Structure 1
Amino acid sequence: MTETKTHTIVPAQAGWFVRYFIKGTKEYEAYLSCEPIVAWEIERFDRPTFNSDEEAIAYFEENAE
């Protein structure tokens, strides 16, 4: 059994934004920031499945770095 990691970057559709609130201080007023999303970064891990805790422990002991 092996673990596989894939990494993908997917361009975002135009018009997607993240908005977040910036709390004000004595120096400046609070405001709502709006930032465009340019891409989604996706990481996927395909890991083996185990039928018991003992099986999982044995696997990780064998594959410890």
Structure 2
Amino acid sequence: MVDRESDTYSCECAMFEHMGILCRHALKVMVHVGVCRIPSHYILKRWSRDARDVLPDHLKCYQKDSD
């Protein structure tokens, strides 16, 4: 399902809803309709560089950029 107005894409496999990763079906539809950039609401914080700032205290010592 595609809603161009709200820029949302959904699939029966529900991979984004379960794992937070867009499925190949949704990506292929984006390519087909000419989307050049993945909409920002599909890039979850846990898959970005900013995810490091939400580490639990007992894991912060393993950050390469920690003091």
TM-score by length of 2: 0.27
> 1 or 2 for the larger relative contact order (CA 8 Å, sep ≥6)?
1
Higher strand share: 1
Pick the structure with greater CA Rg. 1
